[in-house]
Chain A
Amino acid sequence: MTTIQLFVGLAIILYYLVIFSLIRKKILMIKYALIWICFGVLLLAFDLFPDSLYVLSGIMGISLPSNALFLIMIFLLVIISIVMTGIVSSLAEKNRLMTQQIALLTDRVHKLEQNDKHRHEI
């Protein structure tokens, strides 16, 4: 095992510690942490079997394995970002609908209460 492998291995352990502590503190939902757990598995695979990177870069026609690694990682991160903005958009939409419904219901309850008060006074 080379020094770089050892270094990256330690970084991955730290990465998992952070993710699992975020899940335990309920800052991250498991549903959304799964993607990062899978991402870590991929990193670990590259760390344990660096030869796979040489094979991959050969297939992709990239002369430097590190460039292939960067390209793969950037591609994955872009996809994750697009999925995330999709999730944010749908949350914003649900939030809008909920705000509007609360406003309309509050108005109805308020008017019902007023009618009720009137009836009691009569």
Chain B
Amino acid sequence: MRTIIIIPAYNEADSIVNTISNIQNLDASYDYVIINDGSTDKTLDICLDKGYNVVTLPNNLGIGGAVQTGYMYAKEHNYDIAVQIDADGQHNPQYLPNLLQPIIENKADMTIGSRFITKEGFQSSIARRLGIKLLSSLIKLKTNQKIYDVTSGFRAVNASIIDNFSKHYPTDYPEPETITSTILSGKKVLEVPTTMNERTAGKSSIRPLHSVYYIVKVSLAILMCHKQ
């Protein structure tokens, strides 16, 4: 099975080298593509300098648009599995095999690396956990399946979902919405226990002032979600 790792990066000059070497130091070797989302810092220079495989968006599209470009790339190059990993060092690539296993064995179409199953490692702030709980219950309401870490950006999907995502993917705050539409399309979504680190650099795309907008927009998106 050909696997590609999608790494969306917006102004991640401080952490991109670490993230890539963590991936390159794994036992198995994986293809990867960095989607440079119109960074204004040295992210692109570093990638070109180090010879990383990088696709650069001429405009800043936001996390959803960047990740979707990764899925388009995966589809164009006929990959069987695509994994998303954040460039900021939050996700530990050590867990990659755990995410890939259920997909390879055909037990799931999509796996989500979840920090809330074993409750180890960085758990995020109380306010954020509350928001995640709310979105999690909305998804349960809509799909009848309980997913705990709904905002996790550490996910793996098979070829049929790569195809779906390359066609339809929300531009901002995509994770909870895409989980919902994937389950509604009759796909199997499985949560896999992982631990996450506090981001080593960069800012979360969920900033405090935007949190109200975030909750309202994502809740509405989940409730209005339909089969794709």
Contact = CB atoms under 8 A, between A and B. Distances in A.
Interface stretch (A1-9, A79-87, A102-110): A102-110
Please classify the interface of chain B as helix (H, G, I), strand (E, B), loop, or mixed, using the class held by over half of its residues. mixed
Nearest to A93: B171
B38 to A, nearest CB: 8
Contacts of B56: 103, 106-107
B55 A99 contact: no
Contact of B65 (A100, A102, A106): A100
A99 B72 contact: no
Given A104-B55, A106-B56, A99 B76 contact: no
Contacts of A95: 59
Nearest to B53: A107
- Which of A95, A99, A103, A107 is the most central at the interface, judged by chain B CB atoms within 10 Å of its CB? A103
Interface residues of B, number: 14
Interface string A40-63: 000000000000000000000000
Contacts, number: 34
Contacts of B57: 99-100, 102-103
A96 B55 contact: no
B58 interface: yes
Contacts of B76: 104
Contact size range, A: 10 to 19
A113 to B, nearest CB: 14
B55 A107 contact: yes
Contacts of A99: 57-59, 61, 65
A100 B55 CA distance: 9
- Which of A95, A100, A107 is the most central at the interface, judged by chain B CB atoms within 10 Å of its CB? A100
Contacts of A104: 55, 69, 72-73, 76
A111 to B, nearest CB: 9
Contacts of A107: 55-56, 73
Nearest to A102: B58
A96 B58 contact: no
Interface string B37-59: 00000000000000000011111
